[in-house]
Amino acid sequence: MRIGELAARAGTTTRTLRYYETRGLLPARRDGNGHRTYDESDLTLLRQIRTLQDFGFDLEETRPFVECLRAGHPEGDVCPASLAVYRRKLDELDALIGELQAVRAKIGVRLALAGDPMCELGGQGL
C-alpha cells in the first residue's frame, strides 16, 4: 500500500509517517517508481506506536516495541527491552502519583486552615 492509504488506515498523517521513517521506526521501502510502499506489518507497527503514545510514552520509548515486532514477535511487548520500558514507565507513573498525592494533601491542609466548611480531610492521609 502507499503512504496515503497507510496513514488513513492508521489514523495519522503522511507527514507523521515520514517523520517516523526519518527516526528509523518505519521502514523506508520504495517501489520501482520511488514511491513508498508498506504492508500490514507496518500498520501493526504504527498501531503499537499510537497505543503507547496514547499511554504517555514518548516516541523513543516505543522503539523497543517496534524492534520486537520487527523481530517477528506477534506482540511488541514480549521482548525483554519492551518489558524494561514498561517497568521504567510504571516507576515514573508511581513517582508522579506520589508527587500529586503530596500536593493534594498540602492543598487540603491549606483549605482546612482557611476554614472551608466543605473541606473533608478525613481519609486523605493527612
Helix ranges restricted to H, 55-118: 63-70, 80-113
What is this structure's pTM?
0.80
- What are the backbone angles phi and psi of residue 36, rounded to the nearest 5°? -65, 140
pLDDT in tens, 61-95: 999 999 999 999 999 999 999 999 999 999 999 99
Annotated domain spans of the chain: 83-126
Best CA proximity match to 52, nearest among 66, 33, 42? 66
pLDDT above 80: residue 116: no
